[in-house]
A and B are shown apart, each in its own frame.
Chain A
Amino acid sequence: MLNDFLILMKSELVISFIIFLLLFIKVGTEMTNDRLLSLVQFLLLANFIAGFLFNEAGSLFGGAFTTNALMAFQKSILSLGVYLISLLFADWLKKSEHMPEFFMLMLSALLGMFFMISSGSLLMFFLALELSTIPVAAMANFDLEKKLSSEASMKMILSSAFSSGILLFGISLIYGATGTISFTEMPALLDGSPLQILAFVFLFAAFAFKLSIVPFHLWTADVYEGAPIAVSSFLSVISKGSIAFILLTALYKVFGPMHAVWYNMVMILSIATMVVGNLFALRQQNIKRFLAYSSIAQVGFILVGISSNSIEGISSVVYFVLIYTFSNLAAFGVAGVISQQTGKERIDDYKGLYQTNPFISWILALALFSLAGIPPTAGFFGKLFLITAGASRGSYFFITVAALNLIVSLFYYLRVIRAVFMDKNEQPIEKINMHPSTKLGMIICGAGIVLVGLLSWVYDYIVNLSM
């Protein structure tokens, strides 16, 4: 029994261990930020590697906690993302006097996500979701001296409280309609009655809120702009990735019998999300708001893959999230170092960046090419598989709209690339000195963007897990 507990919950236990370790270090020692950062980076790397060891499938607590190889891999993607964040934003982290708290909060949120991915009942899911949200709101307030940062935090906590309220309402309705909160018992009891549809809409709205699906996306741009870039990137990559994973479980395993209903809902929202995300991204001037809207559009594409309700759907979404982690973190990482050292966040400020900073210019170009889905970057394959998976459902209208949006997105990604490589600037951003670990993070991201697409076994591996 104890053995089971230790093996099945090993990822969660490792994270808890790191959190407590940080707490003791904070309270009991006088470790400098430099050494502590190296220690945390090492621990996060170890955690990522440990994610691939001793993976067994099973469940605990009467089915409230389940795990299998696919879930373990999903957790590993999130761990990788957190590790990359600790590398990419090293400069910013080092300067903060509350660095241990930052990591404690981030890891608490990560722990919540792990529980969420593994949740086997609505109660577990709700608790995990709250655990993954509240610490992030505190993180958003981390630039203590900046008003925008406090505002972002406040907006986030209020919006998510509202969304949680709706979610709880939905959970009580679904309990009323089926008499169970267990994921395994629920599918047999679902018949698509109006009450169940209403409950489903309430539940889905909570997912949609976290994923920034239109029209539940309004908080996104404000929060991304106000929060420190490290937190924005955490929100846009790690948070969204975890919700995309649990959404797969919820839609495919739990609400599978109501596929006819949610397929249409996902389709409508996906189209709205892609179109609105793209249209707004076109006119953004601030790089953080730009990335916020572009990531909204990316989520629209994730929904295309999710709509397929098939094994290809699972594998293409997991694969895409992996690629998206590399691409979006690279873009945020570049925006982060520039903002940290020069305070410049406008796209116009990026003009002529290539003349002074060729390395980060290339990383940014790779990231944006991948986000735009241009071959041979991994983003191309990610989008291709998402669209192919979505196409298997046969709604050609939907697929055509998705493909057209892919073209539109090209305009604004190329706009940034043009600013960086081609536009002239009297006073380009000066040469930036990066922390070595930031450079390492960027190289890992760049390598990921190139290799994940070209090495065929990565996708093969995910397909095998998805079956």
Chain B
Amino acid sequence: MNDFLHIPILQVLPPGWDLGWSLMLIPLLPLAGFLLLGLFGRKYVKNSSGIIGTTLLLVSTALSLYTAYGYFFEFGKVDGVYQKIIPVQFTWLQFSPGVSIDMGIILDPISVMMLVVVSFISLMVHIYSLGYMKGEERFPTYYAFLGLFTFSMLGLVMSSNIFQLYFFWELVGVSSFLLIGYYYDRPSAVAACKKAFIVTRFADLGFLIGILILSFYAGTLDFNTLIERLTSASAPEFQSAITSSFLGVSALTWALVLVFIGGAGKSAMFPLHIWLPDAMEGPTPVSALIHAATMVVAGVFLVARLFPVFSMSPPALDIVAYTGIISALFAAVIACTQTDIKRVLAYSTMSQIGFMMFALGVSGQGGENGLGFTASMFHLFTHAMFKALLFLGAGAVIHFIHSNEMKEMGGLRKYLPVTHISFLIACLAISGVPPFAGFFSKEEILLAAYHHNAGIYWMALVTSGLTAFYMFRLYFRIFWNRSAIVHGEHHGEGGFAMMVPLVLLAVGAAAAGFIPFGNFVSSDGKRPESVFHLEFSIAPVAIGLVGIFAAMWLYKKQNDRAAAIAKSLNGFYKAAYHKFYVDELYLFITKKILFNLIGRPAAWFDKNVVDGLVIGTGNTTQVISEKIKGFQSGKVQQYAIYFLAGVIGLAVLFIYVWK
């Protein structure tokens, strides 16, 4: 009965790699940090709470790296194929005799890769925050929330079944709510965290329904069994999922599309992206954590996790691909017009996640076709490095200048040399300039798109040029443009704690591209053929350089060329500046339509009909109510009338109408 205390460790790991408990420790250490700092932080360990949280995560990161080393180089590969290993599993909830919900840890290339990314980036953010958040009144609370977030995210990527993933998925939502709303005394932060929570919850509804449909047809929640049953053409589960249809679309496709809606909500894909820019209200290191490596890539991870099933449904994959490319292009255009540097980065994130999504959408399962899958995961990996770096760099700038607005900045390269160089490396990486990390992963994505769908390829190429343009616009506006105006005393680049992560991430952003990623992560676990073509990379690099030079021409020195161009594109520029009015559209739908259609009539009914009846009855029984004032006897009679009307209504309905 009490499975909770009895945890069997499946002996599938080779001797010497009996990782069960140390794997459990990877997510549990940050959780311990959360509990410790959340309960005792404010009273007992106020000043050392940052060190405590960081140390716990350091151990966790070391364990992740050790696991990754073991998995990729020692025991993961059997006969040239990376295995899916479930070293820990136990029954958590027995719903009915046939259906149970398990908890477990899965080790496969993507989960191990994600373990490394999440724990490493989180560690960088922990260290960086030691300097950035120093002196905050709620310092322990901040570290407690960071711990909770890291725990949820690590739990998410290790989940061995879809329900467990959903559980952690929601926890990620809750903890990001807490982090985004950290500055709870700012109304904008409170509104932002509420918006993020409600938008993603709304998307999660789709996810939950998708899970229910998938598990209904597969008869299991376990990833391995579910994928096995829903991908082999001969399995009865697959047959029933593909043959039963609703509105002409198979149940399998419906389920996958619904699951993807959940993923799109977390990954801020168009049109569910509206929470992402507002979520910049959180502290800057939190933005780095949420937007670079963790929460927003959860949607990509989800699609990758279920990729074998997705590959059985071309319509679902097409939706993934087109949502991805539209989001990528859309966000890139908006990013060119924003003046808040964190918002530029936010839209840039949305655009890059779009790249990862459409790479999955154009991919096939296995062998040469699986290039998109590998490319997507590769880009996730490199993006984590350079995007975290960009955010932390932006944090240093904001720390220095005390503003998010571009117009306050300029010429900062003399004051912030380390930030300047690392920011430049990150910009080169995201723009796809060789030999920085982004070049390699973006190259693979474009190649995969080229083989699959020319339209997507051309749109991606344009987006890639825009990416280079807006990133260097940001770079030149911050570090060049004009001579710096620095008011009074300044405190340089922050302490040692803020520099170390910048340097480490800069090394990552510069060198991560040389990892032979395809050898480790591929859709079928096998090592694919090398597909690097030098002549293919000419066009993307060229368009990237065009973007960079355009930005340089417009923004390196102060001039009015940019303003002139913006003016000539008047309407379009304005629309892009206002983010194409998507927020307004949502407001229109929720406030005007929903409110007017439902809220107003309900209020009107309540005010005129209900109150009117009550007042009317009150008048007729005025004589009585004069005598027993405040007793409102009319109302009780009214209730009885409603009661009777209900009874008669039901009786008539079920005896005469609905037999």
Give A contacts to B, CB under 8 Å: 147, 151, 154-155, 158-159, 162-163, 166, 194, 197-198, 201-202, 204-205, 208-209, 215-216, 218-219, 222, 261, 264-265, 268, 279, 283, 311-312, 374-376, 380-381, 385, 388, 391, 400, 403-404, 406-407, 410-411, 414, 418, 421-422, 424, 454-457, 459-461, 463
Task: Flag whether B647 is at the interface (Cβ < 8 A).
Answer: yes
- Smallest CB gap from A222: residue in B: B635
Residues in B with CB closer than 8 Å to A422 are 181, 184, 190
Would A163 and B643 be within 8 Å (CB), given that A388-B212, A403-B209 are in contact? Answer: yes
Bound: A201/B655 CA distance, A:
10
Q: A197-B655, A202-B651, A204-B650 are in contact. List 12 more A-B contacts (CB 8 A).
A: A197-B651, A201-B650, A219-B639, A222-B635, A264-B658, A265-B654, A311-B96, A407-B205, A414-B194, A414-B197, A456-B91, A457-B2
- B94, A456: Cβ atoms under 8 Å? yes
Give B contacts to A, CB under 8 Å: 1-4, 91-96, 167, 170-171, 174, 181, 184-185, 190, 194, 197-198, 201-202, 205, 208-209, 212, 598, 602-603, 630-632, 635-636, 638-640, 642-647, 650-651, 653-655, 658
A-B contact pairs, 12 of them (CB 8 A): A151-B631, A155-B636, A166-B643, A215-B642, A215-B646, A218-B638, A218-B642, A311-B96, A312-B96, A375-B167, A403-B208, A418-B194
Bound: A208/B181 CA distance, A:
41
Bound: A454/B197 CA distance, A:
23
- A456, B96: Cβ atoms under 8 Å? no
Would A147 and B642 be within 8 Å (CB), given that A198-B651, A376-B171 are in contact? Answer: no
Instruction: Tell me how far the C-beta of B190 lies from the nearest C-beta in chain A, rounded to whole angstroms.
Output: 5
- B647, A385: Cβ atoms under 8 Å? no
- Smallest CB gap from A157: residue in B: B636
Bound: A219/B647 CA distance, A:
16
Residues in A with CB closer than 8 Å to B170 are 374-376, 380
Residues in B with CB closer than 8 Å to A159 are 636, 639-640, 643
B-side interface mostly: helix
Residues in A with CB closer than 8 Å to B212 are 388, 391
Residues in B with CB closer than 8 Å to A163 are 643
Q: A376 is contacted by which of B3, B167, B630 (Cβ under 8 Å)?
A: B167
Instruction: Tell me how far the C-beta of B340 lies from the nearest C-beta in chain A, rounded to whole angstroms.
Output: 23
Residues in A with CB closer than 8 Å to B3 are 456
Residues in A with CB closer than 8 Å to B658 are 264
- A388, B640: Cβ atoms under 8 Å? no
Residues in A with CB closer than 8 Å to B653 are 268
Bound: A467/B39 CA distance, A:
42
Bound: A209/B4 CA distance, A:
41
- B655, A198: Cβ atoms under 8 Å? yes
- Smallest CB gap from A218: residue in B: B639
- Smallest CB gap from B90: residue in A: A456
Instruction: Tell me how far the C-beta of B195 lies from the nearest C-beta in chain A, rounded to whole angstroms.
Output: 11
Instruction: Tell me how far the C-beta of A403 lies from the nearest C-beta in chain B, rounded to whole angstroms.
Output: 6
- B93, A459: Cβ atoms under 8 Å? yes
Bound: A219/B96 CA distance, A:
38
- B202, A456: Cβ atoms under 8 Å? no
Instruction: Tell me how far the C-beta of B477 lies from the nearest C-beta in chain A, rounded to whole angstroms.
Output: 34
Residues in A with CB closer than 8 Å to B205 are 403-404, 406-407
Instruction: Tell me how far the C-beta of B218 lies from the nearest C-beta in chain A, rounded to whole angstroms.
Output: 15
- A205, B643: Cβ atoms under 8 Å? yes
- Smallest CB gap from A282: residue in B: B599
- A456, B92: Cβ atoms under 8 Å? yes
Most interface-central of B171, B194, B598, B632 (chain A CB within 10 A): B194
Instruction: Tell me how far the C-beta of B601 lies from the nearest C-beta in chain A, rounded to whole angstroms.
Output: 11
Would A147 and B636 be within 8 Å (CB), given that A422-B190, A457-B1 are in contact? Answer: no
Bound: A235/B99 CA distance, A:
35
Q: A460 is contacted by which of B1, B174, B598, B639 (Cβ under 8 Å)?
A: B1
- A410, B636: Cβ atoms under 8 Å? no
Q: A151 is contacted by which of B91, B92, B632 (Cβ under 8 Å)?
A: B632
- Smallest CB gap from B603: residue in A: A283
Q: B94 is contacted by which of A158, A222, A411, A459 (Cβ under 8 Å)?
A: A459
Residues in A with CB closer than 8 Å to B181 are 422
Residues in A with CB closer than 8 Å to B654 are 197, 201, 261, 264-265
The 7 closest A-B pairs by CB, nearest first: A215-B646, A218-B639, A201-B651, A456-B93, A422-B184, A375-B170, A205-B647
Bound: A159/B603 CA distance, A:
26
Residues in A with CB closer than 8 Å to B184 are 421-422
- A194, B655: Cβ atoms under 8 Å? yes
- B202, A407: Cβ atoms under 8 Å? yes
Residues in B with CB closer than 8 Å to A406 are 205
- Smallest CB gap from A208: residue in B: B646
- B174, A374: Cβ atoms under 8 Å? yes
Residues in B with CB closer than 8 Å to A283 are 603
- B631, A388: Cβ atoms under 8 Å? no
- B602, A460: Cβ atoms under 8 Å? no
- Smallest CB gap from B174: residue in A: A374
- Smallest CB gap from A459: residue in B: B93
Instruction: Tell me how far the C-beta of B405 lies from the nearest C-beta in chain A, rounded to whole angstroms.
Output: 26
Residues in A with CB closer than 8 Å to B602 are 279
Residues in B with CB closer than 8 Å to A202 are 647, 651
- A215, B631: Cβ atoms under 8 Å? no
Residues in A with CB closer than 8 Å to B209 are 400, 403
Would A455 and B4 be within 8 Å (CB), given that A155-B636, A385-B95 are in contact? Answer: yes
Residues in B with CB closer than 8 Å to A166 are 643-644, 647
- Smallest CB gap from B97: residue in A: A463
Would A216 and B643 be within 8 Å (CB), given that A403-B209, A407-B205, A456-B3 are in contact? Answer: yes
Instruction: Tell me how far the C-beta of B499 lies from the nearest C-beta in chain A, rounded to whole angstroms.
Output: 34
Residues in A with CB closer than 8 Å to B95 are 312, 385, 388, 459, 463
- Smallest CB gap from B163: residue in A: A384
Bound: A374/B190 CA distance, A:
19
Residues in B with CB closer than 8 Å to A151 are 630-632
Would A418 and B167 be within 8 Å (CB), given that A155-B636, A194-B655, A460-B94 are in contact? Answer: no
Bound: A380/B169 CA distance, A:
14
Would A418 and B190 be within 8 Å (CB), given that A201-B647, A456-B91, A457-B2 are in contact? Answer: yes
Residues in B with CB closer than 8 Å to A421 are 184
Bound: A163/B208 CA distance, A:
40
- A147, B630: Cβ atoms under 8 Å? yes
Instruction: Tell me how far the C-beta of A199 lies from the nearest C-beta in chain B, rounded to whole angstroms.
Output: 10
Bound: A380/B642 CA distance, A:
33
Bound: A401/B185 CA distance, A:
36
Bound: A216/B650 CA distance, A:
12
- Smallest CB gap from A194: residue in B: B655
Instruction: Tell me how far the C-beta of A150 lies from the nearest C-beta in chain B, rounded to whole angstroms.
Output: 8
Residues in B with CB closer than 8 Å to A201 are 647, 650-651, 654
